[in-house]
């Protein structure tokens, strides 16, 4: 069984960008940066940009922002605050959910949304 080659953030961005037919110059223009900067990221010479720029990249490329952030070795800025509100419960929840499929986690998220909605309806 062959190993999957690990793709770095910039390489993945390049693959998405070219797959969508977006030129380097156009992508840079939409991000309000220089084409040289994007080229350096795509070549792996620069690390991933700040969260706000990754969010914009995700919008332009039609990707989920949390997936691009994870590939960049980050999590969204709002998540640490959510975890700090209930650290023990959130840590237990995340450790328990570890190993579940994406479908299982999505079902749990939908159940959590229903619980939140019911609480909003209560006086």
For residue range 36-95, list pLDDT tens digits in order. 999 999 999 999 999 999 999 999 999 999 999 999 999 999 999 999 999 999 999 999
Return the ∠ at Cα 74 (arms to 54 and 19), rounded to 5°: 40
Q: Please give the CATH topology (third level) of the domain spanning 9-76.
A: 434 Repressor (Amino-terminal Domain) (1.10.260)
Cβ-based neighbours of 18, under 8 Å, separated by 6 or more: none
Q: What is the pLDDT of residue 52?
A: 96
Mind listing the pLDDT tens digit for each residue in 95-108? 999 999 999 999 99
Question: Given a cut of 90, is residue 120 above it in pLDDT?
Answer: no
Task: State pTM to two decimals.
Answer: 0.80
Return the domain boundaries, the chain: 9-76, 79-121
Two tokens, residue 15: 């693959």
Q: How far, CA to CA in Å, does 41 sit from each of 66, 73, 85?
A: 19, 14, 35
Contact 10, 43 (CB under 8 A): yes
C-alpha 11, offset from chain centre: 15
């Amino acid at each position: 069984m062959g190993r999957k080659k690990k793709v770095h953030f910039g390489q993945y961005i390049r693959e998405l960008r070219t797959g969508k037919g977006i030129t380097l110059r156009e992508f840079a223009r939409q991000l309000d940066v220089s084409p040289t900067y994007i080229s350096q990221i795509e070549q792996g010479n620069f690390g991933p940009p700040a969260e706000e720029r990754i969010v914009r990249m995700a919008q332009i490329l039609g990707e989920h922002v949390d997936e691009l952030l994870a590939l960049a070795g980050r999590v969204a800025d709002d998540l640490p605050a959510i975890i700090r509100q209930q650290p023990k419960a959130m840590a237990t929840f995340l450790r328990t959910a570890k190993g579940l499929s994406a479908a299982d986690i999505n079902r749990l998220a939908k159940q959590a949304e229903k619980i939140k909605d019911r609480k909003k309806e209560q006086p």
